[in-house]
Amino acid sequence: APRPLRGLDDKQFETNLSALGYTGFTVDDSFTELTARAVRAWQRDLGLPRTGRVGIGDVVYGPGGVRVASAAVRVGDRVSGNPVSYTSTSRMVTVNARADRLGWARRGGRVTVDLPDGRAVTGTVASVGRDATAPERAGGDGGDGGGAGEATVAVVITFADQNSLGRLESGPVSVRYASQRRADVLAVPVAALVALAEGGHGLERADAETSGAGSRFTPVTTGLFADGKVEVSGDGIREGTKVRIPR
């Protein structure tokens, strides 16, 4: 009888073979005839010759479950290079972000992802690429092209709750993030801003008529714009001030 093969690679293989549901052998560092029987059953299910042996390069190990992304060869083709590419089974989003606008892309940062079905879910920045890629030029002639500001960097966003993504496996999404924040400020709808003749912006106060002073415009200093509102400050502008919005 052939002598059993021994080694940590045998234990690694038997551990994975057992995880696939094949039994009849003991998971240890010895490749025995019982292991070979399980291998033949595994080969039979794969439609391979039932040799009971596993050669170098027949098996590729991954850190977890994988999903085959693409196959570059067909049955019967001569194999070379990397014939199969695979990804993680966890769904994620890859954003080609402008290299000059990466202030938001910090590992562990939270973003909002708008899905194709209209729902919004929370994601986490998992990694930020170290290499910038120049945009492709129309016609492929290279040319002088745009500046480095148009280069992009790959940003990967992951999701702790995979069920929140629904049943879609792929599709276009929009990623929203907070580039700036303002706390405890006064804000009005952007439509309330009016251009003043002397320059700058102002607000038409709705309480001017009731006070007998007539309609008047109050100059304001604008700050951050977000979600249809604008941060404002100025003399006579305080919480509760009512302003007019043109119809």
**pLDDT digits over 50-68, tens only?**
999 988 778 888 777 788 8
Q: What angle do CA 60, 65, 71 make, to 5 degrees?
A: 60
Average the pLDDT over 102-123 and give the result: 92
Residue 147 has pLDDT above 70, yes or no: no
Helix residue ranges per DSSP H, the chain: 8-19, 33-46
Mean pLDDT, the chain, rounded, equals 85
Kindly list the structural domains of the chain, giving each domain's residue range(s) and its CATH number in brackets, ordered by start. Answer: 1-61 (1.10.101), 93-176 (2.40.30), 186-233 (no CATH)
% of the chain at pLDDT higher than 70: 90
Is there a contact between 110 and 122 (Cβ–Cβ < 8 Å)?
A: yes
Can you read off the two tokens belonging to residue 223?
A: 């700050």
Residue 149 has pLDDT above 90, yes or no: no
Residue at 157: amino acid letter: I
Whole-number Å distance between alpha carbons of 84 and 71 = 5
This prediction's pTM: 0.54
**Quick one: CA dihedral 157, 162, 164, 167, positive or negative?**
positive
Residue 230 has pLDDT above 60, yes or no: yes
Residue 210 has pLDDT above 70, yes or no: no
Which of 24-28, 215-219, 225-229 ranks highest by mean pLDDT?
24-28
